[in-house]
Structure 1
């Protein structure tokens, strides 16, 4: 008989808790190494010299293009996750991510091999995109499907802290190597964090070894054959929920890449003149605050509801966008610290704390991996990697004004609030349709309006 989430012993829960966090943190560490380097060094190492803004846009283009690979990776690995299991999928994704990251640290530069350099860089980034596309859903469901019913919000927030922990580790790594004297950073030191990734990957594989499949997945296997094609079943039974997940992702991803990634290249431009170390330290401070706020927001969602906490975060993002850029314009170290802490640490955190649990609760177990991954990765492709590129273009098109960027973030907030507001009604419609066809929906709806349906 399959153990339920209420009968899992504390030791197993602790292993799952740490396993989902560590693996997620390692994957995002690798991912953000690239995102940070795109704003600091890749424009100089892998693209022809000339117009600095154009080179920076090309660097961000390699960042954004691979976001469109993430949905493909999500579909492939979610298919494996819904048919074979969450655990086995996570082993594959972390291995792919680590291999691609180490390879980036070994790549030749544009001056050495010409156009082959950016070509190889893009290929490595594609592999990273495929891996992260499948990792997020697996790490989330590992925690969520082991969690007791009254703690799903907290457990679902744990792998989300992997995002900020991974970013924190990558930012610290770059802060160390950028502080080296002379041109050491440009010459070779930027490669060190990428090569060091192999140590973390081996650690992650060791931690995840021995974890069993989640109780929810084993229960689904006992009650019927897994779907032959999870993607087809998801699009047939939950296409509305996929759209909700895409809409919710917009406000969770676009502000993040503005507050944490775009700000590195933006603030260090000649017009503002911040030192790289100062900006990276500000992002580090924002990540520390965010990690704590994510856990608090996740726990609050268990009592206040996912939608309320998520919506509060979306509203906060809309409120702080103007102060964020206004503070950066002060051109003082304290101002950029405050800007990043407000934007990344406080406003963004409630949305990322709840998006995983919120979207998990609108899909049935048999296709949950595919559903949450598809919505998350499509949203990331539309509004995530494109955000720094779009923001850089806006700066150039509007003579350095940040007002269009702030307006864009406000529009993202409105879109996500509307999408999440529609989720209870959509869940009721899809649950009724599954029941009418004799299929057990097995949807873990948390919101009271859904539970009453």
Structure 2
């Protein structure tokens, strides 16, 4: 039986059979999708509850505006924990492998989310209620800090090179599915009598997280380690100190990765939470159950737009597609928030749906492959985790806290929020001019994309695309040829000296 590459996405030669590779590719896709669905179901649900419920349940009702700010403050606490989780689990992922880290993160993240469903309220235990919520939010964020990075790296390292953008984007349908499920469930819960919803109805979606945890654990326990990491182990190139490498050799990639994520991550949370808080505030007064349909429709659009833009990035490159999404958000920011301020529910639903489904997801599609392609094999997990999670603090976490504060301080001035979103989009647009085209990059390379010349990137891309066929699982002979062709561009020998191991 012919063999497929150890890393169909990295041009490596290996021992995995065609059938085994195809089976593991499917498991990797399903495993990453379920994890993404759980993470974003929890986070979308938490965002919805923060905007509309938690300020009333976990804080004193004496000062409603300050209660909203405090609720979003705890929402932001989860983002503060994510870089530490990414640093901790990302280091482990680069030292012992990707698979078992993903098992640990799903347990921690999902377990914390489930326990939120049994928390006492402020009325029951006073100030202890928000303290417990902070603790669980920290645990949730610590686990999530490496979950999405792990899913991103896992799929990029398993995917066929020629279709890496498309395959890497498939698990992120789980993001859309999780967000879609959260908004649908929340809408159904709002149909309960207000007393029932506020007493026990809000707890149900968090308790339901336990079911997704069991499904994800079952799938991930059967998943084989990624081909790229297996190749690192065979060549004795596994990094002993990934943290030192990422803050020396990989620092530029992390900084650019943060810039790329500002509009995608910040815009996502602004449309999912701040926009809902804005349009349901006393000044505008829209129905909370109705406007959540904007998030639902945006997620539904994303189920198609994320893999579509990932696929387009396989054809025209990651950078042009990413830049389109950033520029679209930049242009869309002012009219979007002006339209939200008009108080028309149909218009608000459309604005939120377009913001999420088109602006945000046009960046998320190519990002799924682009971030792993920015980093070398020895510190890829940690590099992706740091870029994702530091940006999550700067964009996602601050979007909630700063957005709620701006709403309170300005009396609901839409222009301030529009300028904030436009600033995030401008940062990401600028970042797209700092990154080289990474489409088709050999993932066995140990140096970062920003450390080699654009000519080398283009050469590796051309060689890889010529060698590999269009099949979903890749061609064994074609990928072996690509591995031989790109070997001359690698800077680290397959038999490194002890000093470089």
TM-score normalised over the length of structure 1: 0.93
Residue number in structure 1 paired with 2:23:
11
Does residue 38 (structure 1) correspond to residue 54 (structure 2)? The answer is no
Give the direction of change, closer, same or farther, for the CA distance of 1:220–1:118 in structure 2 (3 Å limit): same
Residue number in structure 2 paired with 1:106:
118
Residue number in structure 1 paired with 2:458:
451
Residue number in structure 2 paired with 1:263:
275
Does residue 441 (structure 1) correspond to residue 447 (structure 2)? The answer is yes
Residue number in structure 1 paired with 2:224:
212
Query: 1:183 Cα shift?
Result: 1.6
The two structures, once aligned, show a CA RMSD in angstroms of: 2.2
Indicate the SS of the match to 1:224. Answer: coil
Query: 1:327 Cα shift?
Result: 2.3
Q: What per-residue deviation string (whole Å, max 9, x for no partner) do you get for residues 183-236 of structure 1?
A: 211111101111111111111111222110111111111112421121111111
Q: What per-residue deviation string (whole Å, max 9, x for no partner) do you get for residues 388-413 of structure 1?
A: 22122222333321111111111111
Indicate the SS of the match to 2:50. Answer: helix
Superposed, 1:181-196 pairs within 5 Å as 181-196=193-208
Residue number in structure 1 paired with 2:254:
242
Does residue 168 (structure 1) correspond to residue 147 (structure 2)? The answer is no
Residue number in structure 1 paired with 2:65:
53
Query: 1:286 Cα shift?
Result: 1.1
Query: 1:448 Cα shift?
Result: 6.9
Indicate the SS of the match to 2:79. Answer: helix
Query: 1:65 Cα shift?
Result: 2.1
Find the aligned partners of 1:252 and 1:375 in 2 and give their Cα distance: 13
Find the aligned partners of 1:337 and 1:30 in 2 and give their Cα distance: 22
Find the aligned partners of 1:446 and 1:328 in 2 and give their Cα distance: 45
Find the aligned partners of 1:215 and 1:225 in 2 and give their Cα distance: 14
Indicate the SS of the match to 1:210. Answer: coil
Superposed, 1:395-406 pairs within 5 Å as 395-406=407-418
Find the aligned partners of 2:251 and 2:194 in 1 and give their Cα distance: 54
Number of equivalent positions = 442
Find the aligned partners of 2:363 and 2:194 in 1 and give their Cα distance: 41
Q: Which moved more, 1:301-310 or 1:382-391?
A: 382-391
Query: 1:43 Cα shift?
Result: 0.5
Query: 1:14 Cα shift?
Result: 2.1
TM-score normalised over the length of structure 2: 0.84
Q: What per-residue deviation string (whole Å, max 9, x for no partner) do you get for residues 262-317 of structure 1?
A: 12221111211111110112211111112211110010000111111111000011
Structure 1: unaligned runs, 5 residues or longer: 432-438
Aligned match for 1:290, one of 294, 297, 302: 302
Indicate the SS of the match to 2:158. Answer: coil
Q: Which moved more, 1:55-64 or 1:31-40?
A: 31-40
Find the aligned partners of 1:88 and 1:411 in 2 and give their Cα distance: 38
Find the aligned partners of 1:191 and 1:360 in 2 and give their Cα distance: 36
For the 8 Å contact 1:323–1:339, the answer to whether it is kept is: no
Residue number in structure 1 paired with 2:499:
none
Does residue 323 (structure 1) correspond to residue 324 (structure 2)? The answer is no
Residue number in structure 2 paired with 1:347:
359
Query: 1:447 Cα shift?
Result: 7.5
Find the aligned partners of 1:364 and 1:24 in 2 and give their Cα distance: 24
Q: Which moved more, 1:68-77 or 1:229-238?
A: 229-238
Structure (1 or 2) with the larger CA radius of gyration: 2
Query: 1:27 Cα shift?
Result: 2.0
Residue number in structure 1 paired with 2:35:
23
Query: 1:125 Cα shift?
Result: 0.1
Q: What per-residue deviation string (whole Å, max 9, x for no partner) do you get for residues 333-389 of structure 1?
A: 211121112111111111111223212111101110000111111011111111022
Q: Which moved more, 1:122-131 or 1:398-407?
A: 398-407
Indicate the SS of the match to 2:118. Answer: coil
Query: 1:8 Cα shift?
Result: 4.6
Q: What per-residue deviation string (whole Å, max 9, x for no partner) do you get for residues 401-439 of structure 1?
A: 1111111111111211222211229x9xxx9xxxxxxx9
Residue number in structure 2 paired with 1:252:
264
Give the direction of change, closer, same or farther, for the CA distance of 1:153–1:83 in structure 2 (3 Å limit): same
For the 8 Å contact 1:305–1:447, the answer to whether it is kept is: no
Find the aligned partners of 1:82 and 1:4 in 2 and give their Cα distance: 16
Residue number in structure 1 paired with 2:374:
362
Structure 2: unaligned runs, 5 residues or longer: 10-16, 460-488, 490-501
Give the direction of change, closer, same or farther, for the CA distance of 1:110–1:81 in structure 2 (3 Å limit): same
Residue number in structure 2 paired with 1:377:
389
Find the aligned partners of 1:182 and 1:362 in 2 and give their Cα distance: 49
Residue number in structure 2 paired with 1:435:
none
For the 8 Å contact 1:43–1:56, the answer to whether it is kept is: yes
Give the direction of change, closer, same or farther, for the CA distance of 1:168–1:303 in structure 2 (3 Å limit): same
For the 8 Å contact 1:424–1:449, the answer to whether it is kept is: no
For the 8 Å contact 2:33–2:175, the answer to whether it is kept is: no
For the 8 Å contact 1:294–1:350, the answer to whether it is kept is: yes
Aligned match for 1:303, one of 305, 315, 324: 315
Find the aligned partners of 2:395 and 2:194 in 1 and give their Cα distance: 37
